């Protein structure tokens, strides 16, 4: 039972949703919650308002201030409209682009938002139907928009929907705009939302934008001659019921691939995701049908995208003939290694190139960059921070790739967010390049470890839902801050990095150092003398606290790979126990 003060506050907020400002179906649902004997669902629906996190606005669909519905989406859009009008007073016309994924209510939320923007005198480009998130990012730049939104909850379960907001560079919104928009949204009362804008300010986007986007995707190819030589490799691809269904096979064909094998049941566009529990390519259950197809056809590579086609999942065949999911760190390694290697071969490295990774992503990417004299940057989780670096260095240095451990990669800067469309096409090319050298993708990955050092990564998360869950997650963070470990896995602690204070401390010697980030974040990192790295952070988009583990190991030949993995897994398990996980 929640405390009485909170319950009274929640009931008062819910009572406001019974007014005539809200439609009849909403009022009925709110009354049902108020009438329930157990107030848990009522509290979770109203105890707070949804806010922009690392992935924008995201939550379970339903009535309430803490739910995705036309009123919370409407308030976000009205607040964003107000902020755009304050920021771009010098422009004769403010323009926004709107996209959406396959989720239930995504089209409704997209059309409602289009009407609200139009009611505020803002020109709207609305995609005719579902489209990948990276195409929305591209369209903002292509059309010279000042902002854009896409309705999606990425890889979350079917109960969720979300609202990602973008700025004029095609990137998700960062400080100070994100906080300023939150403040604008907080001022919005339901009666302030202007739902009925004119249709003449809404323009529909269709195939022409698709063609322009695919033309740019094709420029990501580094070795078209390799694809031409191995254009018939067997590529299994699944969109997992989402937006990749049309454009990812089209992108692979643009690259020159001719043997793309689909999963008909998962080509069905549906917000109910009928063949999976969760449409997340990180999870083996979501990849089960694609892996089964791979065995049937003896595929060279398997790829998947999540519902909004920004994340890429990759499956390869190991040396025992088993198809395994390549984790996000390994996917990013393959991309970065390939891009740098091929650019060096072509003499295309000019000395001004850079890559970006997130602080929780494998340090082997940094090692590849260092050994090849490529500048690299570490940023917080979220591609908006990768895009921020690109924006700061625009016209000065050349971005050649960036990624994070959660299955996201962006191979070119015409998109400023995770891009599974370009990434899938480029991964097909990497598979062809490996075959051209007499290797599988699995062997290519092993060879990267042999050249740059071996590491193993694992992610563990704890789910804690609702108000009580959020409090518990914060308490876990507080405990780690108050009592950081002095050693892990038998190795003394080198640094405890607290990104909320931007100070790194050695708990043994007492030495301190400043962390080079512009803003603070609720993240802790424990780094030992032997290179073990553990990162702890509450998710910005889900009711989870996440633990990221990376341990180093030795590898002298492909034949030692299994033993190195087993040893690393054992070390990770031991560290988990030490941390009480």
Q: Are 388 and 174 in contact (CB under 8 A)?
A: yes
- Cα separation, 39 vs 29, whole angstroms: 14
**H helices of 462-537, where?**
466-482
Catalytic residue among 45, 113, 147, 154: 154
Kindly write down the DSSP assignment for every residue of 498-515, as one continuous string: ETTTTEEE-TTT--EEE-
Phi-psi region of 507 (alpha: psi -120 to 50; beta: other; left: phi over 0): alpha
| Bridge partners for 499 per DSSP | none
Can you read off the two tokens belonging to residue 82? 């107000």
Phi, psi torsion values for 181, nearest 5 degrees: -70, -40
Ordered DSSP codes for 340-407: HHHHHHTT---S-EEEEEETTS-THHHHHHHHTT-EEEEE-SSHHHHHHHHHHHTTTSEEEEEEETTT
Catalytic-residue membership of 455: no
Q: Do 544 and 522 meet the contact criterion of CB atoms below 8 Å apart?
A: no
Sign (positive or negative) of CA dihedral 340, 345, 348, 351: positive
Outline where DSSP puts E strands in 144-209. 147-151, 160-167, 202-205
Q: Is 110 helix (H, G, I), strand (E, B) or coil?
A: helix
Cα 152 from Cα 172, distance rounded (Å): 13
How far apart CA 230 and CA 237 sit, in angstroms, is 17
Copy the structure tokens of residue 269.
Answer: 């566009």
Q: Which two tokens stand for residue 214?
A: 């695919």
DSSP string, 197-242: --GGGEEEE-HHHHHHHHHHHHTT-S-HHHHHHTTT--EEEE-TTS
Helix, strand, or coil (residue 190): helix
Counts of helices then strands in the chain (DSSP H, E):
18, 23
β partners of residue 460: 547
Q: List active site positions.
A: 154
């Amino acid at each position: 039972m929640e405390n009485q003060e909170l319950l009274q506050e929640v009931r008062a907020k819910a009572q406001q949703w019974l007014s005539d400002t809200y439609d009849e179906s909403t009022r009925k649902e709110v009354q049902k919650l108020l009438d329930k004997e157990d107030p848990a669902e009522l509290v979770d629906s109203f105890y707070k308002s949804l806010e922009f996190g690392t992935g924008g606005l995201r939550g379970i669909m339903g009535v309430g201030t803490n739910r995705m519905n036309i009123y919370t989406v409407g308030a976000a859009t009205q607040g964003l409209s107000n902020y755009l009008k304050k920021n771009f007073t010098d422009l004769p016309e403010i323009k926004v682009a709107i996209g959406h994924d396959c989720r239930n209510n995504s089209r409704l939320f997209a059309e409602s938002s289009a009407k609200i923007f139009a009611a505020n005198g803002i020109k709207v480009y609305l995609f005719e139907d579902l489209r990948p998130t990276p195409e929305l990012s591209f369209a903002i730049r292509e059309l010279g928009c000042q902002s854009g939104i896409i309705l999606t909850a990425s890889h979350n379960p079917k109960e969720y929907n979300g609202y990602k907001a973008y700025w004029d560079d095609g990137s998700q919104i960062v400080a100070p705009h994100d906080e300023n928009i939150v403040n604008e949204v907080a001022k919005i009362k339901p009666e302030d939302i202007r739902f009925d804008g004119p249709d003449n300010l809404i323009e529909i986007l269709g195939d022409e934008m698709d063609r322009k986007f695919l033309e740019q995707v094709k420029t990501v190819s580094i070795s078209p001659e390799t694809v031409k030589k191995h254009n018939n490799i067997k590529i299994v691809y699944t969109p997992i019921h989402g937006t990749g269904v049309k454009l990812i096979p089209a992108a692979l064909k643009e690259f020159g691939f001719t043997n793309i094998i689909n999963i008909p049941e998962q080509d069905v566009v549906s917000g109910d995701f009928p063949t999976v529990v969760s449409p997340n390519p990180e999870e083996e259950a979501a990849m089960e049908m694609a892996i089964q197809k791979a065995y049937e056809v003896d595929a060279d590579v398997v790829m998947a995208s999540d519902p909004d086609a920004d994340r890429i999942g990759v499956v390869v065949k190991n040396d025992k003939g088993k198809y395994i999911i390549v984790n996000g760190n390994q996917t990013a390694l393959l991309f970065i290694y390939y891009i740098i290697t091929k650019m060096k071969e072509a003499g295309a490295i000019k000395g001004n190139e850079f890559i970006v990774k997130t602080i929780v992503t494998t340090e082997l990417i940094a090692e590849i960059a260092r050994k090849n004299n490529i500048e690299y940057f570490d940023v917080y989780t979220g591609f908006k921070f990768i895009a921020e670096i690109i924006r700061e260095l625009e016209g000065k240095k050349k971005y050649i790739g960036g990624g994070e451990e959660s299955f996201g990669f962006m191979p070119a800067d015409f998109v400023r967010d995770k891009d599974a469309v370009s990434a899938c096409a480029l991964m097909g090319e990497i598979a062809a390049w490996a075959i051209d050298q007499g290797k599988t993708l699995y062997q290519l990955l092993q060879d990267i470890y042999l050249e740059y050092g071996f590491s193993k990564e694992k992610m563990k998360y704890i789910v804690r839902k609702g108000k009580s869950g959020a409090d518990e997650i914060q308490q876990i963070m507080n405990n780690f801050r108050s009592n950081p470990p002095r050693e892990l896995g038998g190795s003394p602690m080198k640094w405890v990095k607290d990104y909320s204070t931007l100070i790194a401390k050695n708990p043994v010697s007492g030495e301190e150092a400043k962390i080079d980030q512009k803003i603070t974040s609720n993240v802790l990192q424990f780094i030992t003398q032997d290179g073990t790295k553990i990162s702890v952070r509450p998710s910005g988009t889900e009711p989870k606290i996440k633990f990221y583990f990376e341990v180093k190991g030795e590898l002298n030949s492909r034949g030692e790979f299994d033993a190195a993995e087993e040893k690393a897994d054992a070390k990770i398990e031991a560290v988990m126990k030490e941390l009480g996980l």
